[in-house]
Amino acid sequence: MKKRSSKVFAIVLAAMSICTIGGAVTASAANWQDSKELIYYSGSGDVVKTQSRTKEDTSPMYLYNLPSSHKNFSYVNCIGTSTQSPKFGYEGGRVCTATKNTYLGVGNSKYYSSYVKEWGYNYCNFEIAPETHSAGYIEVKWSPDSIGS
C-alpha cells in the first residue's frame, strides 16, 4: 500500500510540475494590436508619419504596407518620443531604428528592431518616405510591440 501511494504522489507531483513549467513559458507584448491608418501624401518629397502610440516593451515594431497603398516605401524609420502627439507624427522625436532607412515594398510587412524603450521613450511612430513623389494615400497597419517575431 505504501508503494502505491508513493507512485500516486510521484505522478501528481510530476503533473503539477509540467503544468507550472507550461504556464511559465507564455510570452506577451502589451501593445501588439495593429492599427490601420490611411495617410495622405502630398507628393512633396517629405516623409509622412503614423500617429504616435504607446511603446510598452522592447519587442520589435511591426509595419505592413497594404496593397491598397500602391506605393513602395524607399525608407522607413522608427521614431521615439517622450510625449504623445495628438496629431500625426511627433514633435522633437529621435530616430530609434536599429537598421535605419530600410525599404518596404507594397504588400510586404516587416518587424523593425528599435531602441525606443532602451533610450527612455514611451511613445513611438513610423516615419515613411514614399518612393514616388506623386500625391495620393498610403495605407498601413502597424503596432508598436509584437509577439513571436
At 87 the pLDDT is: 54
Please give the model's pTM, rounded to 2 decimal places.
0.76
pLDDT tens-digit readout, 125-139: 999 999 999 999 999
At 31 the pLDDT is: 84
| Chain centre distance of CA 105 | 17
Q: In the chain, which stretches have pLDDT less than 50?
A: 8, 12-28, 89-90
Q: Are 79 and 49 in contact (CB under 8 A)?
A: yes
DSSP 50: P
The cell numbers describing 60, all together, are: 520589435
At 84 the pLDDT is: 77
At 23 the pLDDT is: 37
Query: How many H-runs (helices) and E-runs (strands) does the chain carry?
Result: 1, 10
β-strand partners of 92? none
